[in-house]
A and B are shown apart, each in its own frame.
Chain A
Amino acid sequence: MQLDVQNISKKYGRDKYGLKDFSITIDKGVLGLLGPNGAGKSTLLKMIATVSKPTHGVILLNKNNILKDANYMRKQLGFLPQDFGVYPNLNAYEFLEYIAAMKGVGGSHLKLRIKQLLDSLNLADVAHKPIGSYSGGMKQRIGIAQALLNDPKLIIFDEPTVGLDPEERVRFRNLVSDLANDSIVILSSHIVSDIDTIADKVAVMKNGSLITNGIQEDIIESVSGKVFEILIDKNDLSTFKDKQIVVSTTRKKGKLKVRYISANPIGNSIAQQANLEDAYLYLTKTN
C-alpha cells in the first residue's frame, strides 16, 4: 500500500497557490500532517480524497493515477472532512446505511458492522434518534463511524478531534493506532498533542509547501539542544518575544516561566528536552 503525491499544485486565480509543487510518499502507518491554519492541509487532503483536483501534478495509489480513475481511490477510502454536516431527519442507522450505499458497501454484514461501530463509539443508545438532535461530539463520532464503514485501506482524518472530550480523544488515538496496522492513516491537525503520540511519521506544512517530512525523532533532533526555560518579569515578555521563539509561557510566583528556542541561551536559562511541539514551532517560524 503506497500513496505517492508527485509535484502537485493548486492554483487559485493568477498567482495565488493553495499548494505549490508538493511531493510526498506515504506508506502504511500513521502520517501526522501538521501546519498552521491556511498551510494547505485540507487542500491536500481533499485532493487525495478525490473531491478536488490539483492544477498540476499526479497522485498515485499503488501506482494507479487517481486523478484519472478516482473510483479506484473511492473504493478503499475512508474520509472524515474537517467540516461536515449530516442529514438531520435521519437517525444514525439510516445515515450510515446511506453513506455505506454511496461507498458501495452492502450485504448481510452491513447492519452488524454499523451496530458494532455505533456500539463501540458509544452511540448505540441514541442511534434511533434523529442526528439533528446530536451534540457536536456525537456528530464527530458519526463522522468517524462513516469513515470506517467500508473497511478502508486509506483513511484521512482532517482535524478529527474537534468536539471530542479528553476521554474520546484517548479512544480515538487507540483507534488510529489499530487502523494503522493494515492501512495508511493520514491525520491532519494543528494541535501537536493530537499527533505526537500516534504518528509514525510527521509532515510539516506552511504556506502550501512541505517544510519537512520524516520520523518524529529526526524532526525533534532539529531543535535538540536549543530548547530552554527561563523565569522573566511579566513586563519583559513583549521584548523577549521580539528576540526569541517563545513556545509557551506559564505563570509562576508572580513571574513568567518562558519556554523558548534559541541557539544562544540567555543568562540563567535551563536546558530542556526538546519535543515535537518545539520542533514544529521552530520549523514554522523559521521557514
Chain B
Amino acid sequence: MKLFLQTIKYDYLQRTRSYAFLITLCASLAIAYTFVPEPNASYSTIRIADYVGSYNSAWFGYVTAIMTSVFLSLVGFYLVNNGIKTDFNTKVGQIIASTKVSNFKYLLFKTLSNFMVLITIVFCVFLMSILLFFLYNDGTAFSLFQFVKPYVLVTLPALFFIAVLAVVFEVFLMKYSAIQNVLFFFMFSSMMVFVPKTENQHALDVFGTKIVIEQMEESVKLITNSDADEDLSIGYVLGNTKKAKKFDFNGVDFPRVFVLSRLLWILFGFGIITAITPFFKRFSDRESMKFKRVKSVKGEVNEFKEVVIENLSKPKISYSIFPLCKTELLMLFRKGKKWFWIINIIGMVLLVVLPLEMAHQLVLPVLWFLQVNRLSDLVTKETFYNTHYFVFASYKPLQRVLISQLFAGIVLMLFLSLPLMIRYAFESHFMAFTSILLGGVFIVLLASVLGILTQGKKLFEVLFFMIAYANINGIIYADYFGGFQDGVSYLLKLIVCISVFITLIVLVRKRQVVNLA
C-alpha cells in the first residue's frame, strides 16, 4: 500500500510540476474569480429570471461548486488525458511494464493521480471562493459547511468521473488524440443537456449541478408565486444585472438517493477501471508500434558503400520559402489518421449544401475545431519531435520557418472553409467572406501564440474546446469567424487581435531563437 501511494505521489508531483498544470491552475483561478460577480459587475453567471442570490455563504459555496464542476470537467479532461501517453513517450512505460505492478494497479494509480491533479485545482478554487465571500458578502455570517458540502457532494464525484474517463480514453484511443478531443466534446455536450424529470433522475446527472439549479429555481418560484419554469441562465450573461432582484438561497438539502448516487458514481468509476483493465496492453511492442502508426522497416544492406564528398553533386544557394511551405503543408495534411479526412470532406460538403446561416454558425466552427490537433503544435512541433536544433540552426529561422508554418496553417483552415467562402463570394457578401478569412488567420495565430508562449499544446486545446462549445451555443463573444456578427468594427477588432498575436509571436520566438539553451 505504501509503495502504491508513493507511486501516485511521484506521478502527481511530475504532473503538477509541468507548465501546462501551472497555466491551467492560473487560468482556473482567474476564471473562478469571475464565478460570483463583484456586486457592481455588469455580468451575471447564474440568474433565474430577474433574480440572483443574496451574497451569503450558501450562494458563494454552491455557485462556485457547480461552476467548478462544469468548468473543470470541461478543461480538466484535457489537462489529465495524457498520463499514460507520457509514459509511452518518455519510455518510462517500458520500465513500468517490466515491474510487477499489475495493469489494474497501474490504471488505478493513473486515475487517482488524475484525480489528485484536479483536486489540487479544486482546492485552490475553493479557497478563492471563500476569499470572494469575504470580499463581496452582504454582511451575512460565514458558514464553512455551506462551502464544503457542495464541493464534496457535487464537484468531487464529477471530477473523479472525469479522471476515470481520461484513463478510459487513453486505454482505447491513446494514439487518436483528435478522436479523443472530439468524442469528449460531444460526450460533454450530451451530458450537459440531460434534464432530470424526477427527483431520482438527479442521480443520473454526473456533474451533480441540476439539483442545485432546480433548488434555486424553486426558491425563486416561492417568491414569484409562479409554477411556470423560470427563465434560467447559466454562464456569463452581460448587461441587465442592475435590475436583478435578490433572493435568499440557503443551500440544498440533498435527498438520500442523490447522496448515494454520488458515491455510486465513484464506485462506478472504479468498476469501469476494473472492466477496462484487460484491454490495456501494458506498453507491449505491439502497442508501441501501433502508437508509432507505422511499421518498422528493414533497411539493412550488405553492400559496403561510402560517402565520397568530391563525388557529391554541388548544391546551390536558394533561400526560397516555397519548399518549406510545401513540406509544412504536407505535414499538416498527413497528420492524424487518413480516414479523418473523410469527416473533413463531409464537413466541406455540408458547407455547400446546408443553408448559409447554419453552415456558417454551426458547421464551420465544428469543422475548424476538428483541426485542433493539427493546429495545437503547428509552431512547437520541433520541440515535440526534437528537431529544434535543426530548425533554430537554419538560415533565418524566424523569417523563413515560422512564416512557412503560419502560412501552412492558414492555408489549411481556408481550404476547409473554401466552399462557404465561395458561396459568400457568389452572393457578394464581402463582410462574411472577410470574416471567415480573418477568422482562419485568427485561430491559427491564437494556436501559435499560445504554443510559443507555453511551449506546449494543452492551453490552446482547452481554449479552442471552450471557444467551440461557446460557438455551438451561439455565444457571440466567442465568435471569431463572423458567424454571429459582422460590420467594419467587428473586422477591425479581429485585425487588432491578429496584429497583437503577430507581434507577440515574433517577439517571443526571436527571444527563443537566441536563447535556445
Contacts and interface: CB of A to CB of B under 8 A. Distances in A.
Interface in A204-218: none
Interface in A79-119: 79, 81, 83-90, 94, 97-110, 112-113, 116-117, 119
B514 interface: yes
A18 B324 CA distance: 34
Interface string B275-302: 0000000000000000011111111010
Contact of A87 (B305, B381, B393): B381
A77 interface: yes
Interface in A123-159: 123, 125-126, 129-130, 132-135, 138, 146, 148-151
B227 interface: no
B27 to A, nearest CB: 29
Given A88-B293, A175-B307, A43 B517 contact: yes
B97 to A, nearest CB: 20
12 contacts: A51-B388, A84-B390, A94-B330, A106-B323, A108-B316, A109-B315, A110-B315, A113-B313, A130-B294, A132-B294, A148-B307, A174-B306
Contact of B296 (A50, A108, A135): A135
Interface in B196-225: none
Given A88-B293, A113-B312, 5 more contacts: A51-B392, A102-B394, A116-B312, A171-B304, A171-B307
Interface residues of B, number: 56
A50 B393 contact: yes
B320 interface: yes
Nearest to B289: A133
Interface of A: 43, 46, 49-53, 70-71, 74-75, 77, 79, 81, 83-90, 94, 97-110, 112-113, 116-117, 119-123, 125-126, 129-130, 132-135, 138, 146, 148-151, 167, 171, 174-175, 178-179, 181-182
A105 B390 contact: no
Given A102-B395, A132-B292, A97 B323 contact: yes
B312 A52 contact: no
A148 to B, nearest CB: 7
Contact of A126 (B299, B335, B389): B299
B391 A88 contact: no
A61 to B, nearest CB: 14
Interface of B: 292-299, 301, 303-324, 327, 330-331, 334-335, 381, 385-397, 400-401, 514-517
Contacts of A100: 315, 323
Contact of A119 (B295, B305, B310, B334): B305
Contacts of B327: 90, 94, 97-98, 101
Given A94-B330, A101-B327, A179 B309 contact: yes
A122 B300 CA distance: 8
A148 B303 CA distance: 21
Which residue of A99, A104, A105, A134 has the most chain B CB atoms within 10 A of its CB atom?
A: A104
Nearest to A105: B315
A148 B395 CA distance: 15
Contact of B386 (A85, A106, A138, A150): A85
B304 A167 contact: yes
Nearest to A134: B297
B309 A107 contact: no
Contact of B389 (A84, A106, A123): A84
A43 B517 CA distance: 8
